[in-house]
Amino acid sequence: MSTEEKSLHFIEQIIEENLAKGFPQNKLRFRFPPEPNGYLHIGHAKSICLNFGLGLKYNAPVNLRFDDTNPAKEEQEYVDAIKEDLQWLGFQWDKELYASDYFQQLYDWAIILIKKGKAYIDSQSSEAMAEQKGTPSQPGVDSPYRNRSVEENLALFERMKNGEFAEGTHILRAKIDMSSSNMLMRDPIMYRILHKEHHRTGDEWCIYPMYDYTHGESDYLEQISHSICTLEFVMHRELYNWFLDQIYDENLVRPHQYEFARLNLNYTVMSKRKLLQLVQENHVNGWDDPRMPTISGLRRRGYTAASIRKFCENIGVAKRENIIDFSLLEFCLRDDLNKTAPRVMAVLDPVKLVITNYPEGKEEWLEAENNQEDESAGFRKVPFSKELYIEREDFLEEAPAKFFRLSLGNEVRLKNAYIIKGESVVKDANGNITEIHVTYDTDSLSGSGTEASKRKVAGTLHWVSINHAIEAEVRLYDRLFTDEAPDSHKEKSFLEFINPNSLSVVKGFLEPSLASAVSGDKFQFQRLGYFTVDKDATTSKLVFNKAVGLKDAWEEKGKKEVNSINNALKDINKYFKVSTREERIAIRTSIGETLAGILNYSLLQNSFKKNINNNKSSLLFANLILKYSVLKTTDYEEEELQKLFTMSLRSESTFVRSRAILNLNKLDFDSDFKNSFKDEILKLKENPPKSSTERELEFIAEFLK
Instruction: Report, as residue numbers or ranges, the catalytic residues.
Output: 35, 262, 272
| Residue 272, annotated as binding a ligand | yes
Q: Which SS3 state, helix, strand or coil, does residue 37 take?
A: coil
| Residue 181, annotated as binding a ligand | no
Q: H or E segment at 368?
A: strand 363-369
| Residue 45, annotated as binding a ligand | yes
Of the candidates 532, 530, 503, which has an alpha carbon nearest to the alpha carbon of residue 519? Answer: 532
Q: Label residue 174 exposed, middle or buried (CB < 10 Å: 0-12, 13-18, 19+).
A: buried
Query: What 8-state DSSP symbol labels residue 282?
Result: T
Distances (CA, A) of 35 to 79, 87, 93, 231, 590: 9, 17, 16, 17, 52
- Angle (CA) 687 692 698, round 5°: 90
Of the candidates 242, 259, 218, 270, which has an alpha carbon nearest to the alpha carbon of residue 97? Answer: 218
Q: What does the alpha-carbon distance between residue 652 and residue 649 come to, in Å, rounded to a whole number?
A: 9
| Residue 459, annotated as binding a ligand | no
CB contact at 8 A, 39 and 286: no
CB contact at 8 A, 673 and 634: no
User: Which residues are paired to 435 by β-bridges?
Assistant: 352, 426
Of the candidates 173, 154, 294, 315, which has an alpha carbon nearest to the alpha carbon of residue 242? Answer: 173
User: Which residues are paired to 395 by β-bridges?
Assistant: 406
Q: What does the alpha-carbon distance between residue 569 and residue 104 come to, in Å, rounded to a whole number?
A: 67
| Residue 177, annotated as binding a ligand | no
| Residue 516, annotated as binding a ligand | no
Q: How many helices (H) and strands (E) does the chain have?
A: 22, 29
Q: What is the 3-state secondary structure (H, E, C) of 306-347?
A: HHHHHHHHHHCCCCCCCEECHHHHHHHHHHHHHHHCCEECEE
Q: H or E segment at 470?
A: strand 470-477
| Residue 371, annotated as binding a ligand | no
| Residue 545, annotated as binding a ligand | no
| Residue 211, annotated as binding a ligand | yes
Q: What does the alpha-carbon distance between residue 463 and residue 416 come to, in Å, rounded to a whole number?
A: 10
| Residue 46, annotated as binding a ligand | yes
| Residue 44, annotated as binding a ligand | yes
Strands 529-533 and 464-465: unpaired
| Residue 67, annotated as binding a ligand | yes
- Sheet containing 387-391: which strands, arranged edge to edge? 460-461, 411-414, 419-427, 433-440, 350-355, 387-391, 464-465
| Residue 47, annotated as binding a ligand | yes
Give the contacts of 512 (CB within 8 A, at least 6 positions apart): 382, 383, 468, 469, 470
Q: Label residue 220 exposed, middle or buried (CB < 10 Å: 0-12, 13-18, 19+).
A: buried
| Residue 262, annotated as binding a ligand | yes
| Residue 230, annotated as binding a ligand | yes
| Residue 270, annotated as binding a ligand | yes
Q: What does the alpha-carbon distance between residue 268 and residue 292 come to, in Å, rounded to a whole number?
A: 8
Distances (CA, A) of 298 to 38, 310, 340, 588: 15, 14, 18, 43
Q: What does the alpha-carbon distance between residue 290 and residue 299 come to, in Å, rounded to a whole number?
A: 8
Q: Which residues are annotated as a binding site?
A: 35-37, 41-47, 67, 211, 230, 262-263, 270-272
Annotated binding site for L-glutamine: 67, 211
Output the known binding site for ATP.
35-37, 41-47, 230, 262-263, 270-272
